[in-house]
Amino acid sequence: MSGRAGELSPGGFAERLLAGDRLALARGITQVERRLPEGRALIQELIGSTGSSQTLGITGPPGAGKSTLVTALTTHLRAEERQVAVLSIDPSSQFTGGALLGDRVRMTTHYLDEGVFIRSMASRGISGGLAPAALDAVLLMDAAGFDPVFIETVGVGQSEIEIASHADTIILVLVPGAGDSIQMIKAGIMEIPDIIVVNKADHPLALEFVSTLRRSLPILKRIEKPRIVQTEATTGRGIPELATAIADHRLHLEETGLLQTRRERSLRRRVLALAADLITAELAEQADNDPEIQAVIGEVIARRVEPMQAAERIVDRAPLRSAT
């Protein structure tokens, strides 16, 4: 059957995506973003072709220079003829969608380069949470042959870290002298990354900041301490060293078997989170139609029953499905 002009035939779609077709990839991502059945079918068809790309989670406070750093790294990787994909995600975005965010991360340097694929994603218009859509998009970028795949998150809240923590290699970008960078050290964000980039290394406080960081390494609970790399993303200084650190980490993951362990843990977490989301959605729907659940919530609103007790009553009395 011939489709409408410009429409992709369902059969050839996955193949075109596998071959690195950018249009197919872009459409595929839109499908998973909208949680369309086509998106799921696509992921099912392509999942066997995923797993060869290194995924790089990039996180850090706003203004740390994450986008500039990703641009500089991309330039470096393009010189080695790597195909680079960037997924830029903003969990806090409520209404602008990718439109305005896109301006910020357009990475004009690489906009016309066929070897670079850039996509922004924001909470709005994404049903079922940002993480499932983002992680599916990463699978598609991986299947399309892009390697590495950057997952750049804006900000460092819990949900941002949650998404970045699914990457093979997690990179935290900090800047010297920024109050929130110091707070971040305090706040334990350093338990997460494999590599810490101190960007804007030309800053007068850079040396002091790096030594503060180094001093804080021994108090980390984790066994493998993060590597610290200094960069100046705007001039490209330190970018080759960062690229080496990233490649080294990939090797380390492979040699130790950690790559497989991490990915298994990530997939397991994803599946259970999705299952929990399904059950939660079912519960919310039930709550709208079930007078008993309404009554229990009413008791809380009347401030006669505390919320946790009400939750237990709901879970106890409402078998989510019958065992028959």
- Single out the segment in contact with its own copies by CB under 8 A; choices: 39-47, 195-203, 205-213, 240-248: 39-47
Structure tokens belonging to residue 219: 């108090």
- Single out the segment in contact with its own copies by CB under 8 A; choices: 1-9, 76-84, 181-189, 199-207: 181-189
Q: Which is nearer to its own copies, 113 or 234 (CB)?
A: 234
**Residues numbered 40-59 forming contacts with its own copies, rule: CB under 8 A:** 40, 43-44, 47-48, 50-51
- Is residue 212 close enough to count as binding its own copies by CB under 8 A? no
DSSP code string of 29-68: HHHHHTT-HHHHHHHHHHGGG-S-SPEEEEEB-TTS-HHH
- Is residue 279 close enough to count as binding its own copies by CB under 8 A? yes
Alpha-carbon distance of 150 to 167, in angstroms, equals: 9
- Is residue 217 close enough to count as binding its own copies by CB under 8 A? no
Phi, psi of 282 (to 5 degrees): -60, -40
Q: Which is nearer to its own copies, 45 or 113 (CB)?
A: 45
Q: Which is nearer to its own copies, 120 or 246 (CB)?
A: 120
Which contacts of 134-138 are long-range, i.e. CB under 8 A and separated by 24 or more positions? 134/87, 134/89, 134/163, 135/163, 135/166, 135/270, 136/32, 136/39, 136/43, 137/29, 137/32, 137/33, 137/87, 138/55, 138/87, 138/166
Alpha-carbon distance of 145 to 116, in angstroms, equals: 11
Q: Which is nearer to its own copies, 251 or 278 (CB)?
A: 278
- Is residue 115 close enough to count as binding its own copies by CB under 8 A? no
Beta carbon of residue 42, minimum distance to its own copies (angstroms, whole number): 9
Strand partners, 52: none
- Is residue 89 close enough to count as binding its own copies by CB under 8 A? no
- Is residue 125 close enough to count as binding its own copies by CB under 8 A? no
Beta carbon of residue 260, minimum distance to its own copies (angstroms, whole number): 9
Structure tokens belonging to residue 112: 């016309």
- Single out the segment in contact with its own copies by CB under 8 A; choices: 37-45, 81-89, 107-115, 144-152: 37-45
Question: Any residues with CB less than 8 A from the CB of 251 and at least 6 apart, and which?
Answer: none
- Is residue 254 close enough to count as binding its own copies by CB under 8 A? no
**Residues numbered 132-171 forming contacts with its own copies, rule: CB under 8 A:** 132, 135-136, 154-161
